[in-house]
Amino acid sequence: MKQRRVVVTGIGTINPLGNNIEEYFSNLEKGVSGAGPITHFDPSHFKTKFACELKGYDPSQFFDRKELRKYDLYTQYALVAAEQAVKDSGLDLESIDKDMTGVIWASGIGGLETFYQEVKSYVEGGQIPRYSPFFIPKMIADMAAGHISMKYGFRGPNYCTVSACASSNHAMIDALTYLRLGRADIIVTGGSEAAINPPGVGGFNSMQALSTRNDEPTKASRPFDANRDGFVIGEGAGALILEEYEHAKARGAKIYAEVAGGGMSADAYHLTAPHPEGIGARKAMVDAIHDAGLELTDIDYVNTHGTSTPVGDLAEIKGIVATFGEHAYKMNISATKSMTGHLLGAAGAIEALACIMALNKGIIPPTINNETLDPEIDPKLNLTLNKAQQRDINVALSNTFGFGGHNSSVIFKKL
């Protein structure tokens, strides 16, 4: 069976670097950090007192009070980003086949803020069970996909992938598969996360996963740096409209890139740590390249998972070198989490958008805050340190890895 080709025809985002694509791409190119003191709650008793929060987000600009009763923050972010992407795609919502239009979304945690507030109210209320009737629908991780479909009447495949920080890539790979097989013509995909709250920050602090560089928040996320001490938690959403190529061509859609392939694997090693030699990462990358029908030497740019954790960064670099060999020294490599922070289940979505920027603008976003390269990393690798680089590229690969040993890689290329 000949597989159908899949392309990206619409994009949207709301994240710590911008509330739309234009702001996001501009700040990526400039190497801006989205980190700052936490404003969502009082962090004075927490080890980490900063995060990559959204800037100037006002839910009343997008939703009325009745709607907001039904939406956790992660769903709000999903709806905002999806609306941008749908509009950007130029889809005629009156003429498309909505039975062949689906939503495959992602969230690593879902409605953590809702869960926290409801349980907090119960405990503070003297054990009187007065839960909101929207508690469960707001909290569960699949609900963003449901709300996007209900808003537009999309009746095709509809669900959420949950694989920690690999979630968005898994959603995009699933969307790619359904479109290739003819089970849908259009799929809204991406991911959203909203975990900058006491249980989110406190939980990651207890694992010693977050940076505690409270005196220099904008310099805290420093992938590949010898003095990195953990990731910076972020929030937001990224959305992509994936469409079967002939369908997109027939309606004269603008095409950002082709989704060429995806690869998935498991480390089968540890609850939270990656395999130290990057074995699972390597398998995901190799499988993605094979799925795309490409050669290792076709890859021009790798957007790494690159969270700024001592173990994770080094394992990924080892996996990249083991995968690409000498070609690893001819590619650009960068970690955009140095700017956006780590959006957990939404990370893959906004990093896919960074790959699309690189393909369309010929600009590789940088890895900022690298002052002293980890001595275990070969300095001959082009990690795009501290400043964006201009380079015309044809193929970009994006990695995301998650707790539980989940690994996923997606490949985008110029049409």
Q: What are the domain boundaries of the chain?
A: 7-250, 262-413
pLDDT at 74 over 90: yes
Q: Could you give the CA distance from residue 160 to residue 166 in angstroms, rounded to a whole number?
A: 12
Query: For the domain 7-250, what is the CATH code?
Result: 3.40.47.10
For residue 390, how many other CB atoms are within 10 A of its CB? Answer: 9
pTM of the model: 0.97
Mean pLDDT of 334-359: 98
pLDDT at 2 over 90: no
Mean pLDDT of 272-291: 96
pLDDT at 309: 97
Mean pLDDT of 6-19: 98
Mean pLDDT of 33-55: 98
The CATH label, of 3.40.47.10, 3.40.50.800, 2.30.110.10, 3.40.50.300, for the domain at 262-413 is 3.40.47.10
pLDDT at 128: 80
What is the Rg, in whole angstroms, of the alpha carbon atoms belonging to the chain? 20
Q: Catalytic site residues?
A: 165, 305, 342
Q: Could you give the CA distance from residue 229 to residue 274 in angstroms, rounded to a whole number?
A: 16
Nearest Cα to Cα of residue 147 among 246, 248, 244, 75:
75
